[in-house]
Amino acid sequence: MVKIRKEMIENVRFGSAHLRYTGDGADLLLIHVKGYFLSILTVGVYLFWYVKDLLRFYTDNIVVVHEDTYSRLQCNVSGFDYLKLAIGNLLLIICTLGFGTSWATARTMSFILNNSTLVGTFDPDTLVQTEEDYTNAMYEDLADVLDIGLV
């Protein structure tokens, strides 16, 4: 799972900056083992702190590389914050009979983004476009082949 995440994140570029993933599978395995056992021992109470540890692992291992400078994402989520989010999302989904699932997903993404900070010397004003004319029209070609009016 770490290799797939690494492959996906390392193929993300925005202008002259790109992302690098530094996570290690052994560290993730330790988080999972600790989370499973403590969740069983505490009858599920530790589950929220387990998810917090997973969020921190996934976020804290993302590095933004731009012109020989490195900036790291840092997750500032606590287990109690995630507990409040999970209870709110559960109530939202139950009270709307499932129609609030997309809103709960949006709340979760907003929660993660609002609790993540970029630590380092990254300056977005120095980004430059690296590819002048982007000529990949794969989706247009597929739409023509399948006769779908997407574009």
CA–CA separation, 105 and 99 (whole Å): 11
So where are the chain's domains? 2-146
Q: What is the pLDDT of residues 70-126, one digit of tens each?
A: 999 999 999 999 999 999 999 999 999 999 999 999 999 999 999 999 999 988 888
| Alpha-carbon torsion, ordered 102, 116, 88, 82, to 10 deg | 130
- When comparing pLDDT for 142 and 47, which is higher? 47
CA–CA separation, 6 and 79 (whole Å): 25
Those residues with Cβ within 8 angstroms of residue 130's Cβ, 6 or more apart along the chain or in another chain: 13, 15, 16
The pTM of the full predicted model, rounded to 2 decimals, is 0.80
Q: What is the pLDDT of residues 53-67, one digit of tens each?
A: 999 999 999 999 998
